């Protein structure tokens, strides 16, 4: 089954820049951070522009933070941009500007968790690792366990099952990681799987069982975008990215109708290091005279 999935990948893999022969390990890490909860179609142009501007960790490490946040633009979850810059600085300070391939060293970098470390080892260095994103988890849930979708949270048993599917040698393991991920992204999708195009449909336990419904549906939480704190934070960040200088409180307040929610979101943005709040001078400054800006 692994061979069939890899053969399918050889014929159908997307031509993505972070898979090109001239991509760098740093470029792979940047792609993995950008791709978290963001579709490829939005990431690809941003990734190209980012690497043109900051092709190495050393370049990003010394960039003004405001420029980094503006370049992140509307990729979402802008804290990822800050963590990426912190990661670049750590790579420079700890590893001489060269991204390490050791798993423990990768995990010690800011913003790098188990998935990102495994993905970088596989896709940047061709090393054996257990790469488990939502796409791979979905493929293995259906093919190996006969489930419509994996559980909301990754379990020890699921990780062990995934590890058993990873080939023993580095090259085959890295290829399997990329192939299984691509199969989940293009064919074995969450809502409308194209089973007629799947190279292992004849051996899929979920398909053989009649495509049973999601057994974990009651445990999944969904949240609409409209009216959420995420939307409010996004409005504020968009305003500050476009501004040439500090933005007065009144202009910030105008982007969101709920004053209490906006105040909460502003406090969170300041606490996350994404926004700088500056009070007006004086012993008793007028709150309405305060300003907000991106960090320098």
- Residues annotated as catalytic (active site), given as ranges: 32
Provide the 3-class DSSP secondary structure of residue 195: helix
Burial track 110-145 (b if 16+ CB lie within 10 A, e otherwise): ebbebbbbbbbbbbbbebbbbbbbbbbbbbbbbbbe
* Residue pointed to by tokens 């939480």: 221
Tokens encoding 10: 């050889």
What are the helix (H) ranges across 54-113? 57-61, 65-72, 79-95, 103-107
**Residue 192 vs residues 40, 153, 203: alpha-carbon distances, Å:** 18, 22, 19
- How many Å apart are CA 280 and CA 296, to the nearest integer? 19
Crossing angle (nearest 10°) for helices 2-12 and 170-186? 70
**Tokens 């090109």 belong to residue:** 20
Q: What six digits make up the tokens of 151?
A: 């559980």
Element holding 199 (H helix, E strand): none
């Amino acid at each position: 089954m692994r061979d069939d999935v890899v053969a399918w990948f050889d014929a159908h893999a997307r031509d993505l820049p972070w898979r090109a022969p001239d991509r760098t390990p740093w470029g792979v890490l940047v792609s993995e951070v950008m791709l978290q909860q963001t579709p490829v179609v939005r990431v690809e142009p941003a990734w190209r522009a980012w690497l043109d501007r900051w092709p190495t960790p050393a370049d990003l490490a010394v960039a003004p933070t405001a420029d980094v946040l503006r370049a992140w633009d509307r990729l979402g979850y802008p804290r990822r941009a800050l963590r990426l810059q912190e990661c670049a600085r750590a790579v420079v300070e700890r590893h001489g500007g060269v991204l390490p391939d050791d798993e423990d060293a990768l995990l010690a970098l800011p913003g790098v968790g188990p998935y990102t470390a495994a993905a970088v080892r596989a896709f940047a260095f061709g090393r054996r690792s257990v790469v488990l994103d939502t796409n791979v988890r979905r493929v293995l849930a259906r093919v190996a366990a006969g489930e419509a979708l994996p559980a909301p949270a990754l379990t020890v048993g699921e990780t062990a099952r995934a590890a058993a599917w990873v080939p023993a040698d580095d090259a085959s393991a890295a290829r399997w990681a990329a192939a299984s991920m691509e199969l989940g992204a293009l064919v074995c999708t969450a809502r409308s799987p194209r089973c007629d195009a799947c190279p292992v449909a004849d051996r899929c336990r979920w398909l053989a069982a009649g495509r049973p419904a999601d057994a974990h549906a009651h445990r999944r939480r969904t949240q609409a975008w409209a009216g959420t704190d995420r939307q409010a934070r996004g409005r504020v960040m968009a305003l500050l990215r476009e501004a040439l200088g500090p933005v007065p409180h009144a202009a910030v307040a105008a982007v969101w109708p709920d004053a209490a929610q906006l105040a909460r979101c502003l406090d969170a943005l300041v606490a996350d290091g994404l926004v700088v709040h500056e009070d007006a001078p004086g012993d008793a400054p007028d709150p309405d005279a305060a300003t907000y800006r991106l960090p320098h």
